[in-house]
Every structure is written in structure tokens, then in C-alpha cells.
């Protein structure tokens, strides 16, 4: 089974890892349904998809809104009839601060987007995949989801939560023909990290550099493909050896 003519949803498709994955899956011949709450960015990704002869649509939605998630899932199901791959990727990082000074508003927003957003995507996409008795889901966690991340307490908690959702969903839905895995990027050069110093070789780990979004997208594409047919519940670090 190749990915050609199959249907992928990518959230956070307007930038960074989501954009790179949209372009990569599109080059495999997938129909890509791009979801982002930023219209200008989402439409720019769709333009880039079309520029490389790909096919897809852009739907504006905030992944932290239950209604908006239900609407985009229903919309894509109606349009394409099925959902084969779901890249559950949209996320925000928030500002850096030690926990005792960490703002409650930042904590609530990060949880709403990164953790509840991941949950809502899983909840409504799995319903469709369950009927098909097939599908592949890749959640974007982070190295912050598997180790301490000083000054990013809320972000780290949200990503540990995504790891928990991934393992639980994999155990529940593996028997129904749905594979669910997570990628854990280390430092990636995207909009999210544009105000951070990403040049410290030690902080970057053994490969001594951050990754490009494309290096994460390549792994996402592999996990989506039949080449990864025995991978389920895996928490895949793509971090140049940082957590090793």
C-alpha cells in the first residue's frame, strides 16, 4: 500500500514542521488537508503544495476548539470519504519561566492547544478511522515530553501528556487496525524557536546542531507509510542524540 491518492490531515500546517510534512506527504501523492488557525500561513502552505503539483485544501480551525475540530473532521470526511493519515501536530511553546513564576494563563493556553488539542484530534479522527478499520496517526510530542525542560514547565507537562495519550491510544486502537505513534523532535529551526538562541552546540546534543523541519517531516512520512507497519505506540525521538 503506497501513500498515493490517500488522504492526510496535517494540523499546524501553516509553518515549520507541519508545513514541511505537508509538502513531504504531498510529494508522495497524498491529498493533503491542511489545518491551521492562521489563514495567511495555511494558504501559503497550500500554494507551495500546488506549486509542486500537489493536491489539497486548507481549512481554518483552532485545534483547541471542540466544535472547530469536529467541523474540520466532518468536512474532510465528506469531501474525501476517508482519512488515512492524521499528523496531529499543532502546538505552542509559551514564554520561558521557572515554575513558581510561570503564569497560569500561559499554562492554561498551552494545555488547551498542545494537550486538549491533541486529545480532540485523536477523539474525532479515530471515530472515522475506526469505521474504516484502518488509519495511521502521528502525534507531535517533543524531547520536552520525555525529559526535564527547565523553564518550560507547562510545555513539558503538555508534551508528557501527548506521550501518555499516544501510548494509551495505541493500546486501545492497535487491535482495530489503527497505528498511533509520536515523534519527539529536539531543537528545530521554525517560527516557534525564532527568538531562541539555537546555536549552543552542547544544548543541541551530539550532532551539535538543531534540525531542519524537513528532517522531522521525513520521519513523519516514514511512520505514515507501510514501511512502518509494525510501529505502534512508539515514542520516536528525532533529536540528534540529545536525549541519548
Biggest distance spanned by C-alpha atoms of the chain: 51
The phi, psi pair for 149, rounded to 5°, reads -140, 85
Q: Which is nearer to ligand NAD, 37 or 58 (CB)?
A: 37
Q: Which residues, in sequence order, are bridge partners of residue 139?
A: 88, 182
> Does 16 engage in binding with ligand NAD (CB under 6 A)?
yes
Binding to ligand NAD (CB under 6 A): which residues in 17-36?
A: 17-18, 36
How many residues belong to the site for ligand NAD (CB under 6 A)?
A: 29
The active-site residue, picked from 37, 124, 155, 173, is: 155
Active site includes 155?
Answer: yes
Dihedral-angle region of residue 82 (phi above 0 means left; psi in -120 to 50 means alpha; beta otherwise): beta
| Interface with ligand NAD, residue 235, by CB under 6 A | no
* In the complex, minimum distance from the CB of residue 167 to ligand NAD, in angstroms, rounded to a whole number: 17
Q: Work out whether 38 is an interface residue with ligand NAD (CB under 6 A).
A: yes
**Dist CA 109 CA 23 (whole Å):** 28
Q: Given 3-state DSSP classes, what are the helix, strand and coil percentages for the chain, each rounded to the nearest 5?
A: 50, 20, 35
When the beta carbons of 92 and 176 are compared against ligand NAD, the nearer one is 92
Range 39-98, binding ligand NAD (CB under 6 A): 41, 62-64, 89-92
Of residues 202, 211, 152, the one with CA closest to residue 184: 211
If we measure between CA atoms, which residue out of 60, 56, 52, 50 comes closest to residue 85?
Answer: 56
Footprint (CB under 6 A) of ligand NAD, residues 160-189 = 185, 187-188
Judged by the rule CB under 6 A, the positions of this chain that interact with ligand NAD are 11-12, 14-18, 36-38, 41, 62-64, 89-92, 113, 117, 140, 142, 185, 187-188, 190-193
Among all residues, which ones are annotated catalytic?
155
Amino acid at each position: 500500500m503506497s501513500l498515493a491518492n490517500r488522504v492526510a490531515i496535517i494540523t499546524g500546517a501553516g509553518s515549520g514542521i507541519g508545513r514541511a510534512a505537508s509538502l513531504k506527504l504531498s510529494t508522495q501523492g497524498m491529498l493533503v488537508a491542511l489545518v491551521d488557525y492562521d489563514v495567511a500561513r495555511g494558504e501559503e502552505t497550500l500554494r507551495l503544495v500546488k506549486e509542486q503539483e500537489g493536491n489539497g485544501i486548507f481549512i481554518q480551525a483552532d485545534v483547541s476548539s471542540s466544535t472547530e475540530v469536529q467541523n474540520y473532521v466532518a468536512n474532510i470526511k465528506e469531501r474525501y470519504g476517508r482519512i488515512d493519515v492524521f499528523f496531529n501536530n499543532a502546538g505552542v511553546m509559551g514564554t520561558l519561566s521557572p515554575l513558581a513564576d510561570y503564569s497560569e494563563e500561559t499554562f492554561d493556553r498551552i494545555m488547551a492547544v498542545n494537550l486538549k488539542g491533541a486529545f480532540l484530534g485523536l477523539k474525532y479522527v479515530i471515530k472515522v478511522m475506526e469505521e474504516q478499520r484502518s488509519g495511521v496517526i502521528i502525534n507531535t510530542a517533543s524531547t520536552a515530553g520525555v525529559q526535564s525542560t527547565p523553564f518550560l514547565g507547562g510545555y513539558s507537562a503538555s508534551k508528557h501528556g501527548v506521550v501518555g495519550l499516544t501510548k494509551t491510544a495505541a493500546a486501545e486502537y492497535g487491535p482495530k487496525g489503527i497505528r498511533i505513534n509520536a515523534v519527539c523532535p529536539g531543537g528545530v529551526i521554525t517560527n516557534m524557536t525564532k527568538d531562541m538562541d539555537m546555536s549552543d552546540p552542547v544544548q543541541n546534543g551530539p550532532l551539535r546542531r538543531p534540525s531542519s523541519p524537513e528532517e522531522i517531516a521525513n520521519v513523519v512520512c516514514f511512520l505514515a507509510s507501510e514501511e512502518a507497519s509494525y510501529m505502534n505506540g512508539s515514542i520516536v525521538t528525532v533529536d540528534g542524540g540529545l536525549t541519548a
